[in-house]
Amino acid sequence: MHNKIIDLIIAEADELNEQIKNRVPVEAGRDAPLFGRNGGVLDSIGLVTLIVAVEQAVEDEFGAALVLANEKAMSLKNSPFRTIGSLTDYIVGLLKEDGNG
Amino acid sequence: MGMDNKHQVILITGTRKGIGRYLAHYYAEKGMTVIGCSRGEAGYELKNYRHFCADVSDEKQVRQLFGDIRKTYARLDILINNAGIASMNHILLTPLKSVRNILNTNVIGTFLFCREAAKLMRKQQWGRIVNFSTVATPLKLEGEAVYAASKAAVLSLTEILARELADFGITVNAVGPTPVETDLIRSVPREKMDRLLARQAIQRFGTFEDISNVIDFFIRKESDFVTGQNIYLGGV
C-alpha cells in the first residue's frame, strides 16, 4: 500500500508541476519537499490543489473518501504536508483508521 | 472554455419543487445535462435529467453524490445552490430545532456543495457557482431572523469563496429573489406579503423567469470577470 500511495502522490505532483513555476522535485521520492518553512516548494494554492488531487486519487484507488486537511492534520506538531514521505505515512495511517489497512 | 450548452453538466439542489424544479426543467430544455437532488424522489422524469436523493447537509451523502458525478461525467460546470428552507416565527417562539434545520440546509448545505463542486471544477479550471440569498436580509424582515441570518451567511460565503476560488477559474455569485409564489411563502399572511412587496422598487411577486434570467447572466461564458456579486431582484 505504501508504494502505491507514493506513486499516486508523485503522479499528482507531476501533473501539478505542469501548472506551477516552483516544481516539486519528484525525483527525490520520499524526501521531495512539499510545503513548509524548511524548503517547501508549494505555495498555499499549490498545496490545496495537490491535497484535493491526492484525496480524489486515494478515493479512486481505495474507495475511501478521506479528508486529508482535517483538524488533526492542521494541529499535528509536524505537518504531514512537509514531504512526499510524510504525506504518504499520514495517508497510510488514515486508511488504517478507515479500515483499509 | 467555450462550451455550448449541450456539453455542460449542471447540478441543482432542491429540485423536487418550486424554483429548483423549474430550473431543472429550464436547463434540461436548453440541452444541458442536469443533475438534481432533494431529500426525496423528484416525482417527475425528464430527458437529460438525473435525480439523487440526498440531504444537502449530510457530508457523507454529499460526497457520495459528487463521487458519482465524478465517475459518471468526470466534470461539473455549473452548481446552483437552490435548496433552502425558511421558517417564519417570532424569535420568542422559535424552537432551536428549526434554527438548526435552517442553518443545516441553507448554510452547511451551501458550504458542502461549494466545496465539493470546486474540487471537480478545479480540474478544468472553469466553473460557475450560483448561491441563493434573499431580500429578507436587506429588508430586515421581522419573523424571519434565522432565515435572513442564514442567508447573510450564504452571502459572506459567496463573497469570500469568490476570492478563494478565483485562481481555479471558478466564479461564485448569488441571486436574491423577492417572494415568488412557492411553498416557501405559502404560510405568510397576504397582508404581510403586500407590505413586503411595497418595499420593493418594482412592486410585484417575482417569477421563476426573473431568477433564471439572473442565473443565465452569471453562468454565461462571457461572465468570467463577474464574481463575488449578489443581485437582488425587484430593486431591493
Interface mutation vs chain B, best among A18, A20, A56, most B CBs within 10 Å: A56
pLDDT score for B6 = 63
What is the Rg, in whole angstroms, of the alpha carbon atoms belonging to chain A?
Answer: 12
Q: Structurally, what CATH architecture does the domain formed by B5-176+207-229 represent?
A: 3-Layer(aba) Sandwich (3.40)
Q: How far is A7 from chain B (nearest CA, A)?
A: 20
**Mean pLDDT within B140-169:** 96
Calpha distance B40→B68 (Å, rounded): 18
Active-site annotation of B, residues: 147
What cell numbers appear for A83 in the block? Answer: 514531504
**Has residue B136 got a pLDDT over 90?**
yes
Q: Closest partner residue to A65 among B63, B122, B167, by Cβ? A: B63
- The continuous run of DSSP H or E covering B128 comes out as strand B127-132
**Confidence bin at B132 (pLDDT 50/70/90):** very high
DSSP symbol at A19: T
State whether B67 and A52 contact (CB < 8 Å): no
State whether B122 and A56 contact (CB < 8 Å): no
Q: Which domains does chain A have, with CATH numbers?
A: 2-97 (1.10.1200)
pLDDT score for A92 = 95
